[in-house]
Amino acid sequence: MTTQPKKHHQPATNQPAKWSVAVRIFHWISALLLLITWVLITLHENNQGSYIDLHKAFGVSVLAWMVARVIGRLLSTDPAPLPAPTWQKLASSVVHVGLYVLLFAMPISGLLMSWYGGRAVDMFGIFEIPSMLEIDRVRARFFDNLHTEIIWPLLLTFTVIHLLAVVHHQFIKKDGILKRII
Ligand code: HEM
Ligand code: HEM
C-alpha cells in the first residue's frame, strides 16, 4: 500500500485501490466482445465466409453489455487516479469517456444502417430484432459511412491511445496500473 501524503482537494474518504469487481468484469468482457465483432467483420470483408449476421449479433451484444456497464460504473466507487500530471489525468478521463461514447455509437450506427436498409437483425438464430424504420437508402448509406469511415477509426485511435497509456504506466512508470483492472 502506498502512503497518501497531503490531500488538499480530496476528502479523506476510503477510496479503493482498484476498480470495483463490476467495472473489472465489464471491462474485459467488453474488450472480448469488441475483438470478436472486429474479427468477424474482418473475416467477412476478406470473403472468408458470411460472418455478417454474427458481426451484427455480437455488435448488438456490445450495445446491451454497454447499457449494463454504465449502470455498473455509476454504482461503483472509482479508485483515486494514479499520481500523474494534471493533463494526463484529464486526458485519461477524456479517453475513457470517449471510449464509452464510441462503444455505444458503433453498434447504434450499425443498427440504424440495417434498419434504414429494411433488414432485421438475427440474434444468433434465437430471436430477431425487426427493422423499426422505413427504408431510406440515403440514410442507410449515411450510417454505413458513419459506422465504417468515422466512428470505427475514432474507436481504433482511442483504443490505441488507451493501450499506449497502459504500456507507459505499466512498463515505464512501473506504477502497477494493470493490477487496478485485473
Ligand atoms: C461494437 C460494435 C461494432 C463494431 C466494432 C463494428 C465494426 C465494423 C467495422 C470495422 C466495419 C467495416 C469493415 C470494413 O469495411 O473494413 C463494419 C461493417 C459493418 N457493420 Fe459493424 N460493427 C459493430 C456493430 C454493428 C452492428 C450492431 C451492426 C448491425 C446491426 C453492424 C453492421 C455492419 C454492416 C452491415 C457492415 C458492412 C458495411 C459495408 O460493408 O458497407 N455492425 N463494422
Ligand atoms: C488488452 C487490452 C486492454 C488493456 C491491457 C487495458 C487496460 C486497462 C487498465 C490498466 C485500466 C485501468 C486504468 C486506471 O486504473 O486508471 C483500464 C481502464 C479502462 N479501459 Fe481498458 N484495457 C484494454 C482494452 C480496452 C478496450 C478495448 C477498451 C474500450 C474500447 C477499454 C476501455 C477502458 C475504460 C473505459 C477504462 C476505464 C474504466 C471504466 O470506466 O470502465 N479498455 N484499461
The predicted model gives 117-129 an average pLDDT of 98
99 contact partners, CB below 8 Å, separation of at least 6:
155, 158, 159, 162
Ligand 1 atom index nearest CA of 155: 5
| Pick from 147, 133, 154: nearest CA to 55 | 147
**What is the C-alpha separation between 94 and 83, in angstroms, rounded?**
17
Nearest CA to ligand 2 atom 16: 81
What pLDDT digit, counting tens, does each position of 66-76 carry?
999 999 999 99
Looking at the domain assignment, is residue 16 inside a domain? no
- pLDDT for res 9: 52
Ligand 2 atom index nearest CA of 69: 41
Looking at the domain assignment, is residue 13 inside a domain? no
- State the ligand closest to the CA atom of 155: 2
Look at the chain and count its residues: 182
The predicted model gives 104-126 an average pLDDT of 98
Q: Is the pLDDT of residue 39 over 50?
A: yes
CB atoms within 10 A of CB 37: 22
- pLDDT for res 48: 86
Looking at the domain assignment, is residue 65 inside a domain? yes
**Ligand 2 close to Cβ of residue 44 (< 6 A):** no
Looking at the domain assignment, is residue 154 inside a domain? yes
Sign of CA dihedral 173, 179, 181, 182: positive
What's the gap in Å between 46 CA and the centre of ligand 2?
Answer: 29
In the chain, the number of structural domains is 1
Ligand 2 atom index nearest CA of 92: 16
Q: Are 146 and 102 in contact (CB under 8 A)?
A: no
Looking up cell 478521463, which residue turns up?
Answer: 93
**What is the C-alpha separation between 79 and 21, in angstroms, rounded?**
12
**Ligand 2 close to Cβ of residue 23 (< 6 A):** yes
What pLDDT digit, counting tens, does each position of 42-80 carry?
999 998 889 999 999 999 999 999 999 999 999 999 999
What pLDDT digit, counting tens, does each position of 5-37 carry?
544 455 446 789 999 999 999 999 999 999 999
Q: Is 127 helix (H, G, I), strand (E, B) or coil?
A: strand
Looking at the domain assignment, is residue 7 inside a domain? no
Looking at the domain assignment, is residue 14 inside a domain? no
Q: Is the pLDDT of residue 178 over 50?
A: yes
C-alpha angle 155-33-25 in degrees, rounded to nearest 5: 100
- Confidence (pTM): 0.93
Range of the domain at 61: 21-180
**What is the C-alpha separation between 64 and 124, in angstroms, rounded?**
14
Looking up cell 468477424, which residue turns up?
Answer: 40
44 contact partners, CB below 8 Å, separation of at least 6:
50, 51, 52, 55
For a ligand 1 pocket test, name from 32, 45, 55 the mutation site with the most ligand atoms within 8 angstroms of its C-beta.
55
Q: What is the mean pLDDT of the chain?
A: 94
Ligand 2 atom index nearest CA of 100: 35
